[in-house]
Structure formats: structure tokens, C-alpha cells
Amino acid sequence: MFDGLREKLGKFSDDVEEDVETEPEADEEEESDSSEPVDDVPAESETDDQSSTQEQSETEPDDGAEVAPSQDGSDEDAREDDRGIAERAKLFATGKTVIDEDDLQEHLDELELTLLSSDVEMSVAGEILEGVEANLVGETRRRLESTGSLAQDALREALYEVISVGQFDFEARIADDEKPVVIVFTGVNGVGKTTTIAKLARYLEDRGYSSVLANGDTYRAGANEQLGEHAEVLSVPYISHEQGGDPAAVLYDAVEYAEAHDVDVVLGDTAGRLHTSEGLMDQLSKIDRVVDPDMTLFVDEAVAGQDAVTRATEFDDAAEIDGTILTKADTDPQGGAAISIAHVTGKPILFLGTGQGYDHLKRFDPEDVVDQLTLGE
């Protein structure tokens, strides 16, 4: 998973690490040398200096007068150099950074190209670049365990910041919400939305929750049969209407069924639609008004990259989503959608589809994904 992007990010970390200052002791020695006492000077020189000082005091103004700096500014430059050496040595000692900013900019430019070519949304790429730079040249609050590599840690922290947006405990929310918990699934055609619903039914069953499946996709021929087959295999109840019926009515009936039979969770499918299809998006808004779901989850393919990011934004505008499930994550070599969607929508990625089986649904763990992208774990 994310093999292509992981390799590119690994090259960035290695290249930056090579430019990290590894010899602060030399700087410290220079600073130390500059503060050592000067060897004793001959007595004759001391006498000359004293005479010169005495003559100068007779012609100079009072002590409060300012002495003009050297015209070429060499004294000020020297003081700034001394301060720079001391500060860099101090930063290295505290583990913050000692990397040359010019070298860093070259690496950041390369990282930007890497992210954009891996389908990371532009504003998200910019956020990551800012995070990496801040983590390398300034003080940062560590969330992840250090790897011992300054560059790798800076990248991991920046990635974690953008992909962990809005995370909440899905299982705790199911446990705490009033039953039945109503979850509606949205997304375009062909991204694995119906199969994902079946996978979540199995996921909930494994954790002791009952569910009912509801087919609100009343437009597509064969939709009833597809979700019905999953329900039969999983031995869970299934609610559907005839093709062309009102999707909101189907989901409403499923909620009533769950209330009458003490079912914990309603999992409602909706018609796959393009975010540019105004009529279908209006229908989604109607479902939101009639059923008032506890969660609306957007489903798309991880391999869709920036298209998935755009669609997630549009669906969120039509009927506010609470989170995202990305399918086919096991076949995604880039990871652009996984990195971008949470930050752009402000809503978390909750699950990753990692295969065709009912058990191939994995909770999205931001720290785990960061480790995959940067450590290969």
C-alpha cells in the first residue's frame, strides 16, 4: 500500500539528512576559540597602548558619547556571525535543527513535486511543506515517537498533522448514540459503495452490533439484487422498494423496522451519483432532511486521487458528510487521496477497504498510515 509514494518520501528524508549539520563541535570550537584570552603582549606594546589611550581621552568627548561604527560594517557582521555560530550549536544540542536554509529550500521544491505527482491536493501539499519546514527549523511539539532521523521525523509530523484531521472513535460513537444508529452511504457509481456497506455490517457484527441493510439506490437496475445477496450471505435483514421508488421512503422504513425489532444500526445505500448531477444531489439532500442520519459516510476509491478529493468536497456541500471510507487502498501506489481528503473536507477518513472479502475493512489509523508512508511498516 502506497509503495510509490513511500519510496519518493524516503528519498526526500535521505537527501535532507545528508545536509543536516553533523559537525556542531567544530562550530563550538570556533566559538570557544573566539572567547579564549589573547596571549600576553610585550610590555612595550602595553606602554604604547596606555599612552595612546591617555592622549585619546584628552581629545574625545565625554563617556556618554557614541563611537561611530566602522564604515564597512565589518564589526557588526562579525558579531552576527558569532551569534549565528552560537545559536546553531545551541539548536543542535537541543535537537531542533542545524540545516542550511538554502539547501532545505531545494529539498522542499523536490518534495512539492513528489506530492503533486502523487495526487496530493495542492493546498494540502503546501500545508505539508510548511509543516516540514517548521519542524526542521523551529521548535515543534512531538506527537509521534522519534526515529532518530531529523528529516524523517519532520516529515512524519507534517503528514500526521494533515491526515489526522477530525478523527473520532467510531466504535465509541456507535456505543454511545441512541439506537438505532442510522448511517447513510454516498458516492459515485462503481467505487464499491454497496460492498463497503456489507463489509461494515460484518465489522459491526464482529463487535456485537446488529444491523439492517436498506437499499436507497432505487434507480440502478440490479441494485436490489446486489445488496440483497450480501444481506442473505451475512444473514441480516434487508429493506427495499421497487425500482424507481423514493429513496428517502426506503430509508425511513428501515429506521422503523430497526426501532420495532431492536436493531442497533441501519446501513442505508443511496444511488451512485456524480457530484455534477444536480437532481441526484437534491435527492441526497432530501434523504438528509427526512431520515436525519446520525452519520453520512462518503465512499470513494483511494486510486481516484484528486478526483476523490473533489467529489468529497461536493458531496459534503450537498449533505454534510461525517467521514470517508476509501476502497481499493491495497492497490493504491500513491496515497494522494488518503493524504488529502481529511484536510480538505475537515472530516476524517474512517476506514480503508483492503480487499474483496467481508473482513477486508480496516480502521484508518493516521499514525499507522504515516508509518507506512515513511518507515515502510
Closest CA to 293 of 184, 173, 217, 211: 184
Contact 307, 194 (CB under 8 A): no
CATH of the domain at 95: 1.20.120.140
The proportion of the chain whose per-residue pLDDT surpasses 90, expressed as a percent, equals 32
Measure the CA–CA gap between 351 and 274, rounded to whole angstroms: 22
Q: Quick one: which of 113, 156, 121 has its CA closest to 136? A: 156
Amino acid at 329: A
Domain assignment of residue 48, yes or no = no
pLDDT band of residue 22 (cuts 50, 70, 90) is very low
Same domain, 228 and 320: yes
Residue 25 is predicted with a pLDDT of 44
Domain-located, residue 60: no
Rg (CA), the chain: 31
> Does a structural domain hold residue 281?
yes
Residue 238 makes CB contacts below 8 A (sequence gap 6+) with: 212, 213, 214, 215, 227, 228, 231, 232
Q: Is residue 348 over pLDDT 80?
A: yes
Q: What is the pLDDT of residue 5?
A: 77
155 and 221 share a domain? no
- Say what the pLDDT of residue 183 is: 96
pLDDT reported for residue 26? 42
- 24 and 155 share a domain? yes
- Could you tell me if residue 66 is inside a domain? no
Q: Of 163, 196, 211, at which residue does a domain stop?
A: 163
Distance, in Å, from the CA atom of 2 to the CA atom of 376, rounded to the nearest integer, reads: 9
Q: Give 291-342 pLDDT, tens digit per residue.
A: 889 999 999 998 888 888 888 888 888 778 999 999 998 888 778 888 899 9
**Of 137, 163, 189, which one is at a domain's C-terminal end?**
163
Residues 6 or more apart in contact with residue 123 via CB below 8 angstroms: 343, 344
pLDDT at 38: 45
pLDDT at 134: 82
Residue 57 in domain = no
Write down the pLDDT at residue 140. 55
My answer on whether 245 and 344 are in the same domain is: yes
pLDDT of 114? 87
CA torsion 144-145-150-152 (nearest 10°) is -60
What pLDDT band is residue 361 in, cutting at 50, 70 and 90? very high
Tell me the pLDDT band of 52, cut-offs 50, 70 and 90.
very low
Strand order from edge to edge, sheet including 361-363: 238-239, 211-216, 265-270, 181-186, 295-301, 323-327, 349-353, 361-363
pLDDT of residue 141: 56
**Number of domains observed in the structure of the chain:** 2
Q: How confident is the model at residue 259 (pLDDT cuts 50, 70, 90)?
A: very high
Residues 226 and 350 placed together within one structural domain of the fold: yes
Helix (H) or strand (E) holding 314: helix 306-318
Could you tell me if 99 and 157 lie in one domain? yes
Report pLDDT digits (tens) over 111-163: 889 888 888 889 999 999 988 888 777 655 566 656 557 778 888 888 999 99
Mean of pLDDT over the chain: 78
3-state secondary structure 320-353: CCCEEEEECHHHCCCCHHHHHHHHHHCCCEEEEE
315 lies in the same domain as 294: yes
pLDDT in tens, 85-96: 454 444 444 444
Query: What does the block give as the cell for 366?
Result: 493516521
Tell whether 73 is covered by a domain. no
Calpha distance 176→187 (Å, rounded): 27
pLDDT score at 267? 97
Question: Of 123-137, 214-228, 358-372, which range is least confident?
Answer: 214-228
Say whether both 257 and 321 belong to one domain. yes
Same domain, 153 and 12: yes
Question: Shortest CA distance to 89 belongs to which of 173, 32, 4?
Answer: 32
Dihedral (CA of 360, 364, 367, 373) sign? positive
Cα 268 from Cα 296, distance rounded (Å): 9
- Residues 154, 179 within the same domain: no
Per residue in 260-294, pLDDT (tens digit) is 999 999 999 987 765 456 666 677 778 888 888 99
Whether residue 22 sits in one domain with residue 97: yes
Domain encompassing residue 357: 170-374
Beta-bridged to residue 213, according to DSSP, are 238, 267
- Give the three-state DSSP class for 65: coil
Q: What is the pLDDT of residues 9-20, one digit of tens each?
A: 877 777 777 665
State the cell numbers at 259: 426501532
What is the pairing mode between strands 295-301 and 323-327? parallel
Domain boundary among 163, 190, 219: 163
- Which CATH number do you get for residue 184? 3.40.50.300
More confident residue, 214 or 47: 214
pLDDT for residue 138:
62
Residue 68 falls inside a structural domain: no
- Is 190 among the domain residues? yes
Question: How does pLDDT run across 191-219, given as a tens digit for each residue?
Answer: 999 999 999 999 999 999 999 999 988 77
Looking at the predicted structure, is the pLDDT value of residue 50 above 70?
no
Q: Are residues 186 and 247 in the same domain?
A: yes
HEC string of 71-112 equals: CCCHHHHHHHHHHHHHHHHHHHHHCCCCECHHHHHHHHHHHH
The answer to whether the CB of 180 falls within 8 A of the CB of 264 is yes
